[in-house]
Amino acid sequence: MSVVEAGQGAVYDRGYRPYDGPRGRRGAATLALYKASMRRALGIRRSWRQKVAPFVLLGIVTIPAIVNVGIGYVTRNRFLTERIEIITYHDYVGVSAALLLFVALVAPDVVCPDRRQHVLPLMFARPITGVDYVLAKLGAIATIVFAFSFLPQVVLYVGNMLVSDSALDYFTGHLDVVWKVPLAVALLSIYYAVVGVAISSLTERRIVAGASVIGLFLVTSIAAGIFVGDFHEKGGSAAALINVLAMPLYLRDLVFFGHIGPRSPLSGVNNGGLFAIIAYAAVLLTGIAVLLRRYRWVER
């Protein structure tokens, strides 16, 4: 280190230190991009305004669990033939569909600025590929949606267990929930992440991407509602499959019941479950194809 003295002060030239520590390759770079995208989505290292939306949404989706556990606690010493339950684990996955708003807000924010501000050439000058980029972005959104959907279910499960007459009996009596909830929530998270990120990749403007995500879900669910009509009376219809918003909820039914639930607009449709799986996979594959196409950075 050299030092140049000038009167009382001194200017230090710390020079340049070469780096001879460990270096990761694709995996490390992809993980770094995944973590950076997570931080951005959650507003970490950003202004407080960016932190409000995700954590308010987490609070909102946790309210039903807290209310349910609270009722269980208040009524724990009363002799009831059946515990009062305002929401089931199955229905709670449906509440998590509200996280669609989160996806519409956050997916454009982690994808669009990279294209709009021409950051992509810098990214792809690093040891990553288009596939790595897509994996990192999808992984970040899916992880947060999963966490925000799963945490309230954990609150519900643990709360119910604690306010029940016997925690052990509750646990052994609800063992199926331990795998059904994470599986159903994972299906929902991956689906919303793919749809949200794929649509966001088509534009560089966040507002357009967010409006497009919400628009797609709204338009298809309204259209499905019109085509299916009142399914409680006359049964469901295959037209319910055009509802992009509800697709993961059909799969949730399959996870929880092994068939489409009686309250579903697909109920009563022959091979409805199979059609739901095919439609789900088709949407997922289309989204992934769009993403790989948009981030195919190497020229042929």
Partner 1 sequence: MESGSLLRLDGLTKRYPGTIALDDLTIDVPRGRIGLVGANGAGKTTTFRLLLGLAHPTEGHIEVCGLDVERDPIGVRARLGYMPEHDCLPLDQTAADVVSTFGELSGLPARAARQRASDILDLVGLDEARFRSIGEFSTGMRQRTKLAQAIVSDPELVLLDEPTSGLDPAGRDDMLALVARLGTFGISVLMATHLLDDVQKVCDYVVMIDGGRLVVAGATESLLERTGTVTVDVGPSGPDLVAALGAMHLRAVAADGHVEVEVDGDEGLDLLRDLIARLELPLYRLSTRVTSLDEVFLNRSEDVS
**Which residues lie near partner 1 (CB under 8 A)?**
14-19, 21-26, 28-29, 32-33, 35-36, 45-46, 113-114, 117-119, 121-129, 297-300
Q: Which of 82/299 has CB closer to partner 1?
A: 299
Tokens 């790989």 appear where? Answer: 292
Shortest separation between residue 201's beta carbon and partner 1, angstroms: 17
Shortest separation between residue 145's beta carbon and partner 1, angstroms: 23
**Quick check: 153 and 92 in contact, CB under 8 A?**
yes
Shortest separation between residue 115's beta carbon and partner 1, angstroms: 11
CA atoms within 13 A on the CB side of 47: 1
Q: Which residues contact 31 (CB under 8 A, 6 or more apart)?
A: 24, 136
Q: Which of 15/258 has CB closer to partner 1?
A: 15
Shortest separation between residue 59's beta carbon and partner 1, angstroms: 25
Q: Which of 136/184 has CB closer to partner 1?
A: 136
Q: Which of 24/262 has CB closer to partner 1?
A: 24
Helix/strand/coil percentages in the chain, nearest 5: 70, 5, 25
Question: What b/e string do you get for 146-165 counting C-beta neighbours within 10 Å, with b at 16 or more?
Answer: bebbbebbebbbebbbebbe
Shortest separation between residue 121's beta carbon and partner 1, angstroms: 5
Three-class SS state of 200:
helix
Q: Which of 130/248 has CB closer to partner 1?
A: 130
